[in-house]
Amino acid sequence: MTLQSYDKGFATRLQKTKMTENIRFFTHLFVPFTIKEMVKVLALGKKRNKFLCFALVYSYLCAKFRTMRYSVILLLCLFTTLVGCKKDDTTPPHHYDRTVLVYIAAENNLSPYINYEMEEIAEGSKDLGNNALVIFVDGTYGKSYIMRMENGERQDVCTFDDDNLSSDPKMMRYIINYTKENFPADEYGMVLWGHASGWEVGDSVAASRQMKAYGIDTGNNTQDLVGKWMNMYTLASTLKEWGQPLRFIFADCCQFQCIESAYELRATTDYIIGSPAEIPGVGAPYDLIIKHFFSKDESFYEKIVDHYFAQLSYGYTGRARTPLSVIKTSTLPQLAEATHEALQTFLPMSEGQYPNMNGLIYYRGKLTFPAASTMYDMNDFMLHKTDSATYANWKKAFDDVVIYKKHPAPGDGWMTNELPSGTPVFSYMTDERYGGVSMFVPQNRSGSAYLPYRSYGVQYDGYNAEIKNTSWYWAARLNELGW
């Protein structure tokens, strides 16, 4: 059988069956390829089907060694070569004071912003001293790549042959390890750039339009919102690949700053910088904030927040500034306990009854469908639902966690696709009420996602059930309060 007929005869089958079935099929197929034919196979794989190349080489190894013991080892080496990033430089890596990885997950409708962001990053990369600014980019234009940016110049560029999913934890682990190996440092920071939706937990890598915490990847280089997401539990587990807590996570994505996500990430970073609300598509002003990624000042995060907040946008809401806050993760366990103690002063309520959330600050919802409103401001909720003494005690623990925050002036609002100018929630943004972190509060709202629902052919349990998958739910012992 020639290589050409092999290609035509099995290409369709390979594309339609699962990888495990393909591997099982080729495990039992022993084809005596010659070395010359193997070269043809590798060339064929580069031009056509990468997995076909992978399977054919696997067959050769099995035939060559007549056993899976050695062929599996060689196969793993080959597989790494096919999906990994090629970097020919063997010079021992330089050691830095701090390395910051900017992880740009933009194989979706955010891809058009990449060039704009890279221009800002180039401008911000000047005079960084003994620090490394590393950027991984996965967009819809061309191949994904990882590089270092220094003084506006792209250095150590490494391009991937395959279109790997940036939302796949295996890919993120690879990028983290690549960064550690090639740009080792005393400490690390990370920027998460892309889409996000707070705490909502689904499958480890979920393929649907439903939001699953972070990093949608369409998998086909299209600017769409249907793709694979990474849930917060998986993100937290993946970030432990750094081997030490990050100095900070800067989440340049929508609705990341919620107490549920922060608690999930508490062991992976010292600080989390982000917004509880939607953010502008252009993201942060990297030309102004990058130098502060490497600052040794204890309050380095203040400059990052200040520059981002000063960025004025105009959209559906008119004048808009991005609500922002900084979370210190080491004090989160104390806040969980304080929250439990405060909530039990008015919970549990009667069976099936939950707090009335009308008139409170929320960060996600539609003015045309109030029942869908969720992600309520944590401080605003506690301020209005507890007595003054209880709130004062709870607020001490909250202030130890949320150590810095900024909010738009009442009426200005933030960039949002769902809430038009004049939305009442924008007028609630005062120093007393704004906490800068959202919190989930269950509701019994007919037709909303709080209750079981079906979307795009998939059945979901609803937020009231899904919140029980978070570490925060159990740390704050919300199960004891009727939630």
So where are the chain's domains?
3-83, 96-328, 332-481
Burial of 277-296, coded b for 16+ CB within 10 Å and e otherwise, reads bbbbebbbbbbbbbbbbbbe
Looking at residue 422, its pLDDT comes to 65
Instruction: Give the angle subtended at the CA of 281 by the CAs of 276 and 284, to the nearest 5°.
Output: 70
148 alpha carbon, distance to own chain's centre: 21
CB-count burial class (<10 Å; 0-12, 13-18, 19+) for 114: middle
* Residues near 446 by beta carbon (within 8 Å), at least 6 away in sequence: 371
State how far the Cα of 67 lies from the Cα of 342, in Å rounded to an integer.
64
Max Cα distance, the chain (Å): 82
Looking at residue 417, its pLDDT comes to 75
Amino acid in position 286 = Y
Looking at residue 465, its pLDDT comes to 93
CB-count burial class (<10 Å; 0-12, 13-18, 19+) for 347: middle
Looking at residue 201, its pLDDT comes to 54
H-type alpha helices, 66-217 = 68-83, 114-124, 169-182
Q: What pTM was computed for the model? A: 0.81
Looking at residue 64, its pLDDT comes to 47
Over its length of 483 residues, how does the chain's per-residue pLDDT go in tens digits?
322 222 333 233 233 333 333 333 333 333 444 444 444 444 434 433 444 444 444 444 444 444 443 444 444 444 444 356 766 566 889 999 999 999 999 888 888 889 999 999 999 999 999 999 999 999 888 889 999 999 999 999 999 988 888 888 999 999 999 999 999 999 999 999 998 888 875 444 444 444 457 887 877 777 777 778 888 889 999 999 999 999 999 999 999 999 999 999 999 999 999 999 999 888 999 999 999 999 999 999 999 999 999 998 765 556 789 999 999 999 999 999 999 999 999 999 988 899 999 999 999 887 778 888 999 999 999 999 999 999 999 999 999 999 999 999 987 888 887 776 667 888 999 999 999 999 999 999 998 989 998 877 778 889 999 999 999 999 999 999 999
Count CB atoms within 10 A of the CB of residue 186. 12
State how far the Cα of 131 lies from the Cα of 133, in Å rounded to an integer.
7
Beta strand ranges found along 199-356 (DSSP E):
205-208, 214-217, 227-230, 246-252, 269-274, 313-315, 318-320, 324-328
State how far the Cα of 246 lies from the Cα of 235, in Å rounded to an integer.
13
Concatenate the DSSP letters of all residues of 1-39 into one string. Answer: --HHHHHHHHHHHHHHS-HHHHHHHHHT------HHHHH
β-strand 185-193 against 96-105: which pairing, if any?
parallel
Domain at 96-328: CATH architecture? 3-Layer(aba) Sandwich (3.40)
Looking at residue 317, its pLDDT comes to 56
Spatial CA neighbour of 262 closest among 101, 105, 440: 440
Looking at residue 49, its pLDDT comes to 45
